[in-house]
Structure 1
Amino acid sequence: MSKPFDMEFFLAGMLTGSHATRQRHIHQAELIQAEISEHWHRLTPWAWQKKHVDWFPEHRLNRRSEATRYYYLLTVRLLARRLQKAWVFNL
């Protein structure tokens, strides 16, 4: 039996700012992870490629406001930094 991926532990060393900001990043990262896992069958961020992360805002956030897309972009950049990838993301 495998344990579910702990996104809060994965991001623990990267999170800064207020409690609300940290919680927002964790919540959004968990949502991103769940969507990628469901669509691409990649269970952990270690298995992701840039195309998997690019897919999320293009197909899941396309009808959201610019502000929402911006906050998810910040979380995606945080995930890329945690993975030590030089991925560049734009709105």
Structure 2
Amino acid sequence: MSKPFDMELFLAGVLTGSHATRQRHLRQAKLIHAEITKRWQRETPLAWRRKHLAWFLEHHLDRRSEATRYYYLLTVRLLSRRLQKTWGFDL
């Protein structure tokens, strides 16, 4: 049995802002991780590709408000920065 992925540790180096902002990013990153794991069986963000995050933004958030999509976009950009990728995403 392997240990579950620790998103908080993964994002620790790039999380900034107030406590509430950091908690929101962690909560959203955990949800993104769960959905990508369920859809593509990618256990860690290190195995993700741009298409996985783009799928999440386009299909999982398609019925959410513009504000909600924007906050998830910020989290996706934070994940991209942590992965040291120059992926661009639009809403």
What's the CA shift for 1:55?
Answer: 0.3
Aligned length: 91
1:1-91 matches, within 5 Å, as: 1-91=1-91
> Structure 1: which 5+ runs fail to align?
none
Which gives a bigger RCO, structure 1 or 2 (Cα 8 Å, sep 6+)? 2
Note the C-alpha offset of 1:6. Answer: 0.3
- In structure 2, give the amino acid aligned to 1:48: W
TM-score, length of structure 1 as denominator length:
0.99
Q: Specify every segment of 5 or more residues in structure 2 that has no aligned partner in the other structure, as ranges.
A: none
Give me the CA root mean square deviation: 0.4
Q: Tell me how far apart the structure 2 counterparts of residues 40 and 55 of structure 1 sit (CA, whole Å).
A: 11
Q: TM-score, normalised by structure 2?
A: 0.99
Structure 1's consecutive aligned runs of 4 or more residues displaced over 2 angstroms after TM superposition are none
Give distance in 2, aligned partners of 1:84 and 1:12: 14
Could you tell me which amino acid in structure 2 is paired with residue 3 of structure 1? K
